[in-house]
Chain A
Amino acid sequence: MRHARIERWSRGDSGIHRCPPAAKILATLALLICIATLKSNAATACGLYLALLMAAAIAARLPVPAMLWSAAAVLPFALCFAVASAFAGDPERAVRLVIRAYLSSFTALLLIATTPMPELIAGLEWLRVPRFLLQVMQFLYRYLIVLREEANAMRQAGSARGGALRTLRFRQAAAAAGVLFARSYARAESIHRAMLSRGFEGRLPARLRLR
């Protein structure tokens, strides 16, 4: 599973892994701004950015081909907008959009592949990112995986009875999504009860420093 793989990468041991999380976040932010402000005729700069990112991935002892592939996860979305741009008569902008999206995705992936999530959140907290956002991020990180497992269990239950996601009609797919929502809601209630039972009073305590 992708999340398990990235989590494993983030627990590696390299100079980049050992850098302070806040420094990595700031460097990532700077790079993202550079990528976002690329000029239209900046093919060389794009190549340089990609080379720089790949060099950083190699230095962090990350598997570059797998990183290149994982970063492509954003392309279907980027391509939708790119196609719209191309049809609107601006093919150059369409190409730029795809390149920017891919480079940004690779940059963000490099950050999370070299920083375990608890450290990443600690770094963001150090940079004074609003606590509420961090809490949302923290819960999303923790429970996205659990929800994904629930969705997989539902898919397997369907497959075991001869169904497949591809063959679901719209009504069935909508019903399955509804069940997943109901399960998620029930889980949210259970989590809230568990939090209450351990003294939660509406505000998460400050995070512990692990190192």
Chain B
Amino acid sequence: MSLIVEVRNLHYTYEDGTPALKGIDFDLEDGATIALLGANGSGKTTFVHHLNGILRGSGTVVVDGLPVTEKNLREIRKRVGLVFQDSDNQLFMPSVIEDVAFGPLASGMSAGEASDRARAALDRVGLLSKADKSPWHLSAGEKKRAAIAGILAMDARLLVLDEPTTFLDPPGQRGLADLLAGLPQACMLVTHDAGFACRLTDEAAFFEEGRIAARGPMAEIVRRFEW
């Protein structure tokens, strides 16, 4: 099977001099799901922000066969759907449907086509009835699903979810797990919640001080790092 993500020797240091990533090597097969576990500040989020060029460190990052370079950014951002931890940061348009249609419109699609895509994505996450609501009318679980609809509308090939269970109650977490389990795309879950990740994958990578300390079956990682 082909690789959707190939990362080699990735280093990144924040402007204040804090080294965040110290030589990451990482591969992910197309269609696979993996959980990225690790303590706060271990580099998980910094790492995934390199996958669509929001952050640019030294080393090589290739997504779906395309190197993450300035020239490829537009295409890369269509292929990598990043769902942020706080959905309020992601839902910035005045209505849900406009927010979901933002990505397709930004990629140059016509308004009619973007609207159709947005409606189909909302239907897929069960939010079509809330299409013309303001995002702040939604519950935390609905906001998360709206944020996911936003990246599904872009036809992303890789879904990256940063702390997807934050602010979600147990029924909301179950609903999200069911939704993600039904999606065919490759998926990376940045999470502290190994229980949630277990519902979706049995593979995990453990981050420690900017490095991948181990990668393997979830149960083994959880046991080894007492997670």
Whether the pair B134, A7 counts as a contact (CB closer than 8 A) is: yes
Cα A125 to Cα B202 with chains together (Å): 50
Whether the pair A146, B107 counts as a contact (CB closer than 8 A) is: no
Write the nearest CB–CB distance from A99 to chain B, whole angstroms. 33
Whether the pair A187, B105 counts as a contact (CB closer than 8 A) is: no
Contact of B146 with A by CB under 8 A: no
Cα A116 to Cα B136 with chains together (Å): 13
Report A15-31 CB contacts with B as 1/0, cut-off 8 Å. Answer: 00000000000000000
Contact of A156 with B by CB under 8 A: no
Write the nearest CB–CB distance from A124 to chain B, whole angstroms. 12
Whether the pair B98, A200 counts as a contact (CB closer than 8 A) is: no
- For the complex, count residues of A whose C-beta is within 8 A of B: 30
In the complex, chain B residues 27-84 whose Cβ is within 8 Å of any chain A Cβ: 49, 52, 54, 74, 77-78, 80, 82, 84
Q: Which of these, B89, B101, B115, B134, contacts A118 with CB under 8 Å?
A: B134
Q: Which of these, B77, B88, B95, contacts A196 with CB under 8 Å?
A: B77
> Cβ of A197: which chain B residues have Cβ within 8 Å of it?
52, 54, 77, 80, 82, 84
Contact of A210 with B by CB under 8 A: yes
Whether the pair A207, B92 counts as a contact (CB closer than 8 A) is: no
Q: Which of these, A116, A138, A210, contacts B97 with CB under 8 Å?
A: A210
Interface residues of B (CB under 8 A from A): 49, 52, 54, 74, 77-78, 80, 82, 84, 86, 88-95, 97-98, 101-103, 105-107, 111, 114-115, 118, 131-132, 134-137, 150-151, 154
* 12 more A-B residue pairs beyond the given contacts A194-B92, A208-B98, with a C-beta to C-beta distance below 8 A: A118-B94, A142-B94, A142-B135, A146-B88, A190-B84, A191-B90, A194-B82, A194-B90, A197-B82, A198-B150, A199-B77, A205-B114
| 28 residue pairs bridging A and B, Cβ less than 8 Å apart | A118-B98, A121-B94, A138-B94, A142-B134, A142-B136, A146-B136, A190-B89, A191-B89, A191-B92, A193-B49, A194-B84, A194-B89, A194-B92, A196-B77, A197-B84, A198-B106, A199-B78, A199-B103, A199-B106, A199-B107, A205-B106, A208-B97, A208-B101, A208-B105, A208-B114, A208-B115, A210-B97, A210-B131
